[in-house]
Structure 1
């Protein structure tokens, strides 16, 4: 039997914060089975205690919610949100102060069969490092958007809210769409920023489109910074020879290096990439800054191991990014990748390498459907979406097709921002979306 919700209230300058902890089944279809703890933090402005709730669903997957403050504003859009809402920052299962996913993090009792010497008590704690790859994969299969929505419902009930509004960034938009598909009655509104996914099995076309977009972004970057192509080629030569080394001695291969292109999907990212590449390849600055710039690191293992699976709507992903990589890209290491998962991103990182076999199993897993088109068509919920015209990760044409299913959706298609527009715009994107959902602004 789950314990009662635990709520603790404290203060920062300009904010009242309420920490909420609830217990949730690891498998919501087995409510009497092992349990996770789910954490959320509610930020309330002075005098805003009666305002409705806005739930922020973080991008990723596998990243915790921002830690709120108003001096300075973090996230930058928070002051705008607090004028109309109390903001719920949910640490999605497996992240932050919710029961985290980690190789050495104690697992909930009974999560997997105990791996221990004979004579060890049956309640002994097991970690994922002790588990088999199949056990690791089965455990991680419970960390997709469908489970996150049901966790959020437990938080909503703990707060005594009949309904609330969602704000989903990137993967948080995938979770928002699942919410509309599965629990629309709990919602008074939903806002998407760069996160309306493609439905159904044809996900290879999404990855093919993102590859085309990254080719164009790579060429645009080299047109802006002509010397960077040769600098990138030199780094790729070192990587191919096993001589591109990070500050801790870790070796980076060509395909992992190519993932630097994820910087090009964000506002200001091209300049960041240039400033990185202008350093001498064997310098300590390059080696350390490269480590910080590469995506899919060990801090957030879900981001690497479940990255493609978060798209899967009734299909197996089977390393879609690798399979759809154009021959032109394979032949030219200066053509960069975005959020294109690749086996080397896991096998080359000492913190991620222990997940490699589980990642192979998850790539072959046929996942249950996340979205019900008929339920989406029936979702009587006001929806506003910022669709970024050149989004590197969630292509606009597929986002608009999915949005057409929603009966009360308004899409604001803009080329002013990239995928990180919610944060990069300060209050701008959220203010626009709130205006759309409240009917005070036109797209």
Structure 2
């Protein structure tokens, strides 16, 4: 621990079978300006009885823009019991989420952040955009390093789910010496300026998923087409009157990237579209809401390794998809979403500015090739969001990484498998199981 690093504030409490420590630590908003404004970082350390001296495994949540899971019991989330057998688990609320200083239009800004503005709603679009540039994986890793030093831990292990895997790869690029082992679940991103190729691949994958879905539930296609007609006419509404446009409706396809997602979509389309149940369930099923604004506003930036995004999902949308609303989307941001959702409208101009922003590099290929950190990655064969082809190219850069390519699970395999995926990865990383 450096002389400048203070101990985090700590509050201890318990759940049946678990001891929890809530940790808070001030960190710079801009790590290049450590004397500038600070924000608060929150993490929760979870320990089983008798596990107080076990090494620490940091869970890095998917997103971007979502807080870490809240453990409710030793088996919630489902992978937690397996992790706790060998580790204490640190649940990190990545900056801008959960109990870390939140990003929201009306959340108070840290003192001195934007002169003349108490909240982001009061800031100009340019000020909003600049503020949001500080919430990518590079800043998350720098936050984690300050917390590790404050806890006086020489090294810890990482478990990165989806975007958490992107953050883990950044960790290996920037601070591999702090990492004992690195585990990826559906989260090996492409390295370099290849995000357009990634989006093109995911669009083709979603076309195939859409056609498989309609073949399984053929009556649903006509139901969906009628909903799209209503959306195009401005008559499809969520509770409270929010208009659901065609592009918002198309993003119900994100359900198809998870276990039982096809069944969830079918049960939604099976409801009477005039019923309150349908309206509420439709709103709940749509991604990119005002609850987690970072998920919408900076989502594409997580793929931007040294390039501007320039609305990549829009630019790479195949003509066949644009012409047929029954060809569904996954995690594809569309500019119209900011106009359709009043909660996202406040971010529309900032999102345009961020789409033109030249993002710095996230990954250092030379550092990745040189790292000796052991690890394991679950690569889902037909992942809707993080394509297998690009993940395997990145995996080849990491000499200590063992990959497990499986079609048994979808993108949410870590949770859907109970202890299965994590158990397999831990054994792979320690050489107890063959890939």
Query: TM (normalized to structure 2)?
Result: 0.98
> Among residues 9, 15, 24, which one is paired with 1:21 in the alignment?
24
Residue 35 in structure 1 maps to residue 27 in structure 2: no
d(CA) in 1 for partners of 2:288, 2:337: 6
Give 1:203 shift.
1.1
1:132 aligns with 2:124: yes
The aligned counterpart of 1:283 is: 275
1:298 matched to 2:254? no
1:228 aligned to which of 208, 220, 224: 220
Write the distance in 1 (CA, Å) between the matches of 2:164 and 2:432.
25
Say if 2:78 and 2:419, in contact at 8 Å, map to a contact too.
yes
Aligned-partner Cα distance in 2 for 1:344–1:428: 39
User: Could you tell me whether the CA contact under 8 Å between 1:2 and 1:24 is conserved in 2?
Assistant: no
CA distance in 2, matches of 1:70, 1:354: 38
Question: How big is the shift at 1:383?
Answer: 1.3
Given the alignment of the two structures, is residue 60 of structure 1 paired with residue 52 of structure 2, yes or no?
Answer: no
- Counterpart CA distance in 2 for 1:160 and 1:268 is 42
Aligned partners of 2:199, 2:414: CA distance in 1, in Å?
Answer: 23
Deviation readout 1:6-62 (Å, 9 max, x if unpaired): 112111100000111111000000000000000000000000001000000000000
**Equivalent of 1:175 in 151, 167, 176:** 167
Deviations 1:112-142 (A, max 9, x none): 1124xxxxxxxxxx11010000000000000
Tell me, yes or no, if structure 1 residue 376 matches structure 2 residue 379: no
Cα distance in 1 for residues equivalent to 2:94 and 2:363:
19
State the match for 1:120 in structure 2: none
Within 2, Cα distance between the matches of 1:7 and 1:281? 49
Structure 1 range deviating more: 32-41 or 106-115: 106-115
Tell me the secondary structure at the aligned position of residue 389 of structure 2: helix
Instruction: Give the counterpart of 1:162 among 147, 154, 161.
Output: 154
Q: Which residue of 2 aligns with 1:93?
A: 95
The question of whether the paired residues in 1 share the 8 Å contact of 2:7 and 2:151 is answered with no
Contact 1:314–1:366 (8 Å) recurs in 2: yes
What is the match of residue 111 of structure 1? 113
- What's 2:191 paired with? 199
Distance in 1 between the 2:146 and 2:274 partners? 51
Residues 301-316 of structure 1: pairs in structure 2 closer than 5 A: 301-316=293-308
Distance 2:8 2:139 in 1: 18
Tell me if structure 1 keeps the 8 A contact 2:214–2:220. yes
Q: Name which of 236, 239, 246 aligns with 1:247.
A: 239
Q: Which 4+ residue blocks in structure 1 deviate beyond 3 angstroms? A: 1-4
TM superposition score normalised by structure 1: 0.96
Is this contact kept in 2: 1:15–1:69, CA < 8 A?
no
SS at match of 2:433: coil
The equivalent of 1:122 in structure 2 is none
Preserved CA contact (<8 Å) 1:314 1:369: yes
What do the CA deviations read for 1:226-285 (whole angstroms, capped 9, x no partner)? 101001101000000000011211111101110000000001000000000111222111
Once residues 155 and 6 of structure 2 are traced to their aligned partners in structure 1, the CA distance between those partners, rounded to angstroms, is 23
User: 1:442, CA displacement in angstroms?
Assistant: 1.0
Offset at residue 350 of structure 1 (A): 1.0
Q: For residues 15 and 73 of structure 2, what CA distance do their matches in structure 1 show?
A: 9
Residue 4 of structure 1, CA deviation:
4.2
Residue 3 of structure 1: CA displacement?
Answer: 5.6
Which residue number in structure 2 is paired with residue 387 of structure 1? 379
* Residues in 2 aligned to 1:357 and 1:2: alpha-carbon distance in whole angstroms: 37
Are residues 1:44 and 2:44 paired?
no
3-state DSSP class of the match of 2:358? coil
Q: Secondary structure at the match of 2:287?
A: coil
Task: Give the aligned partner of residue 391 of structure 2.
Answer: 399
Check conservation: 1:70, 1:79, Cα contact below 8 A.
no
2:141 matched to which residue of 1?
Answer: 149
Shift of 1:2: 7.1
Asked whether the 8 Å contact 1:206–1:398 carries over to 2, the reply is yes
Of the structure 1 ranges 155-164 and 177-186, higher mean CA displacement relative to structure 2 is found in 155-164
Q: Is the 8 A contact 2:321 2:327 kept in 1?
A: yes
Tell me how large the CA RMSD over aligned residues is.
Answer: 0.9
Does the 8 Å contact 1:266/1:419 carry over to 2?
A: yes
Does residue 262 in structure 1 map to residue 235 in structure 2? no
8 Å CA contact retained: 1:70, 1:78: no
**Structure 2: which 5+ residue stretches go unaligned?**
none
Distance 2:49 2:6 in 1: 31
Is the Cα–Cα contact under 8 Å of residues 5 and 146 in structure 2 kept in the other structure? no
Structure 1 residue 70, shift from structure 2 partner: 2.4
